[in-house]
Amino acid sequence: MYIELEHISKYFGTFKASDDVSFGIEKGKLVGLLGPSGSGKTTILRMLAGLEKQDEGDVIIDGKNVNTLTPDQRKIGFVFQSYALFPYMTVYDNIAYGLKVQKRDKKFIKNRVHELLELVGLPGVEKRYPDQLSGGQRQRIALARALAPQPEVLLLDEPFAAIDAKVRKELRTWLRETIDKVGITSIFVTHDQDEAIEIADEIIITNKGRIEQVGNPVEIYENPKTPFVAQFIGQSAVIKDFGKLKGFEKENDSQYGVIRPEFVEISDFTDNIKNGTNEVWKAKTAKDKKSDNETTIDAADSAYEDGIIEEVLFRGNTYEIRVRIGNITVTGKTSVSAGKRSRGEHIKVLIKQLYIIEDENTQIVKNKAFDDSQIYYI
């Protein structure tokens, strides 16, 4: 591993901001530190940079223990959430600052500044001051300044937090492309799941100063290893009374369920009628399978719940629909082409699967009353 943290702990008074943190990062990877506010993300980043000193453990970069090295000796570039550009300096002087500290010659500095302005897509702005730039432009200049001294590692603390939503989305793609061009090992802190999933090679999820899970975005999303990750990733609803749902059994009071929108299917069973067909969904329960009779029951009765729409939100190409099933509320999604549903409308809802959480264990369980292998048409 190019970067390694080994058993890192950090205290602020009696508060433990980092609790036995260990992980490794391969050279050239773009890694997202993802977690809620106060989970220890920025503390980890600052200890890597040497801006904070850990109380326990080791920071290793390229095989070397850097515990005693100052930030400038670690060859790390740092992009701050607030840009931290010098307001009284031009763009040129901001980017050139680190190079001047390194005592590089004027010709090298000039060439390097113009090279970086081209890289970040802002040629010709070198004479402007930070207050003459937009938020997105300032962040690009902050990145150029961090890259100017040719660091071996790039750290970014909530790089898009101060930028409006539209520009933020554009900058995500730009950052990914820029770091790929430079080929530098990079770590960014974020609390935005979409941001981490969209651009990171790997995600490290933090919670209460500890590492919950490390993996690529697909692994993190599809196979959460801890109860916290299962609840934190995606638009998850925590359901204590999941045993009241059809097709699921709650074995004890310590268990609870987690349901994501993609686990929810919304239907009113009128599609076939509208399409002029006579097909009706049928399903066999486990009990039916054991009998000699080809007894069937409507899927609507065996697995689908009766729900009432509480809220409908338009999300561009989908509707996000919040549905109440008894005293349980879940969220599902339908395509815009399926038509808009209305608040108060009675609908059928299928919970295809859910996560069952017990203590520190997480398992995904499918709806026993709705098994695709047992569905057929009559």
The whole model's pTM is what?
0.82
What is the distance between the alpha carbons of residues 117 and 63, in angstroms, rounded to a whole number? 32
Which residues are within 8 A (CB) of 340 and not within 5 positions of it... i.e. 6 or more apart? 312, 314, 319
Strand partners, 34: 190, 205
| Residues in the chain, overall count | 378
Give 49-79 pLDDT, tens digit per residue: 999 999 999 999 999 999 999 988 999 999 9
Q: Are 211 and 204 in contact (CB under 8 A)?
A: yes
What's residue 316's pLDDT? 86
Q: Reduce the secondary structure of the chain to three states and give it as a string.
A: CCEEEEEEEEEECCEEEEEEEEEEECCCCEEEEECCCCCCHHHHHHHHHCCCCCCEEEEEECCEECCCCCHHHHCEEEECCCCCCCCCCCHHHHHHHHHHHCCCCHHHHHHHHHHHHHHCCCCCCCCCCHHHCCHHHHHHHHHHHHHCCCCCEEEEECCCCCCCHHHHHHHHHHHHHHHHHHCCEEEEEECCHHHHHHHCCEEEEEECCEEEEEECHHHHHHCCCCHHHHHHCCCCEEECCHHHCCCCCCCCCCEEEEECHHHEEEECCCHHHHCCCCCCEEECCHHHHHCCCCCCEEHHHHCCEEEEEEEEEECCCEEEEEEEECCEEEEEEEEHHHCCCCCCCEEEEEECEEEEEECCEEEEEECCCCCHHHEEEC
What is the distance between the alpha carbons of residues 74 and 61, in angstroms, rounded to a whole number? 8
User: pLDDT tens per residue, the chain (378 residues)?
Assistant: 999 999 999 999 999 999 999 999 999 999 999 999 999 999 999 999 999 999 999 999 999 999 999 988 999 999 988 888 999 999 999 999 999 999 999 999 999 999 999 999 999 999 999 999 998 899 899 999 999 999 999 999 998 877 777 778 888 888 899 889 999 999 999 999 989 999 999 999 999 999 999 999 999 988 888 889 988 998 888 898 999 999 999 999 889 899 999 999 987 554 443 444 434 444 444 444 444 444 444 544 578 889 999 999 998 889 999 999 999 999 999 988 878 889 999 988 999 999 998 887 888 899 988 764 443 333
Residue carrying the six token digits 């916290």: 228
What is the distance between the alpha carbons of residues 252 and 22, in angstroms, rounded to a whole number? 34
What's residue 157's pLDDT? 92
Residue type, 256: Y
What's residue 273's pLDDT? 34
* Distance between start and end Cα atoms, the chain: 58
What's residue 202's pLDDT? 97
CA 24 and chain centroid, separation: 19
Give 282-340 pLDDT, tens digit per residue: 444 444 444 444 444 454 457 888 999 999 999 888 999 999 999 999 999 998 887 88
What's residue 374's pLDDT? 43
What's residue 81's pLDDT? 82
Q: Which domains does the chain have, with CATH numbers?
A: 3-225 (3.40.50.300), 237-377 (2.40.50.100)
Q: Are 22 and 42 in contact (CB under 8 A)?
A: no
- The closest alpha carbon to 174, from 154, 198, 157, belongs to 198
